[in-house]
A = this chain, B = another copy of it.
Amino acid sequence: MTAIARTDPRDFLKDLTSSRAARLLRDALDRRWPATTDTADRLSTIHRYALLPAGKLIRPILMLESAAAVGGRPEDILPAALGLEYLHVATLVHDDIIDADEMRRGRPAVPLVYGLPDAIVAGDALIFTAFESITECRATGVSDSAIGTAIAVLARAGTDLCRGQVLEAQLVGDPGIDVDIYLEMIRLKTGALFRAVCEIGAILAGAEPAHCQQLASYGEHLGVAFQIRDDLLAYTTPAVVAGKSPTNDLANGRTTLPVLLAYQAGNRAQRRRLVEALNHRTADADALKDFHRLLEETGALERAPEHVAEHIRRARNQLSTLESSPSVAVLAGITHWATARQW
């Protein structure tokens, strides 16, 4: 693990995305959503556009490695892992409508390309396909009981995710909310799906309940850390600081952790500047630079990473009693990467 800890996060991600698990997933995605000239099948065309080229595939990789960490075969649960990617992409497609985001993964977003009506329906269909994918594991010998439990876990994670999104919208514009409310919100919005992918991987691999719970908890804390890091990177990546790649978080008035911490620590003048910036609902280069300065002055940019570290520590703790294996090492490596990643 020391070796992994010293790995440059870019190198780790490169290794991860060229790993056997990632290759299995990409090949399966390509086979499942072939390029087609059948323009009549518009729904599949939209799905292929939304799913490929694939993103980092962190969630389905987590599922395959969680299954392998408790002795399962990644091949046997491949359909379910794809399913969790579908669910994740469904939320991205619907998020792009909600946030009116025009770009996703460097390309025009689905709603921009295919229109709002078909984007809503395509997202819905990806949710249905996610559930169908889990039932496909019956063909690889996974027990009906494990599949039933996995479906229940996925459904609960989905409603948690929605609850987190509604809560997030309620918190917009108010930097005075308690940090615990923000943490609960991202536990629902992001932690729940990370939790589900790891838990479902263990369930479908037939792991004992204690291991399923450990991996579930690992996933949840990893997800929370991942989201805090995301919220931090929205203000600290060099392109954002330089005003070259504006973040939507400021324009959308999102009260993420750096914002809450800055408000907590800020004096009256700083708080006023913060509230004004949040409610201005635009974020040009000057506004972003000023906001970044504000987060720096108040110490928020130093304190937010402490929260990341705390959740990563808790995630890693859950791995300590699992038998050492290459998969457990990858799960540990992902926690290091999640702490250090710059994008």
Contact = CB atoms under 8 A, between A and B. Distances in A.
B158 A124 contact: yes
Given A131-B154, A132-B156, A125 B162 contact: yes
A155 B138 contact: no
Nearest to A142: B148
A120 B97 contact: yes
A276 interface: no
A120 B131 CA distance: 19
A125 B158 contact: yes
Interface string A209-236: 0000000000000000000000000000
Interface string A122-135: 11110111011011
Contacts of A158: 124-125, 127-128, 131
Given A98-B120, A117-B169, A151-B135, A127 B127 contact: yes
A65 to B, nearest CB: 25
A29 interface: no
A121 B164 CA distance: 10
Which of A124, A125, A144 is most buried by chain B, counting CB atoms within 10 A of its CB? A124
Interface in A133-163: 134-135, 138, 143-145, 147-148, 151-152, 154-156, 158-159, 162-163
A336 interface: no
Contacts of A167: 42
Contacts of A143: 144
29 contacts: A42-B167, A43-B162, A43-B163, A90-B124, A91-B124, A94-B121, A98-B117, A98-B120, A98-B121, A117-B165, A118-B166, A122-B166, A124-B124, A124-B127, A124-B162, A127-B127, A127-B128, A128-B155, A128-B159, A131-B131, A131-B155, A131-B158, A132-B152, A134-B151, A135-B151, A144-B144, A147-B148, A147-B151, A148-B148
Closest 8 CB pairs of A and B: A128-B158, A132-B155, A125-B162, A144-B144, A135-B152, A98-B117, A131-B155, A144-B145
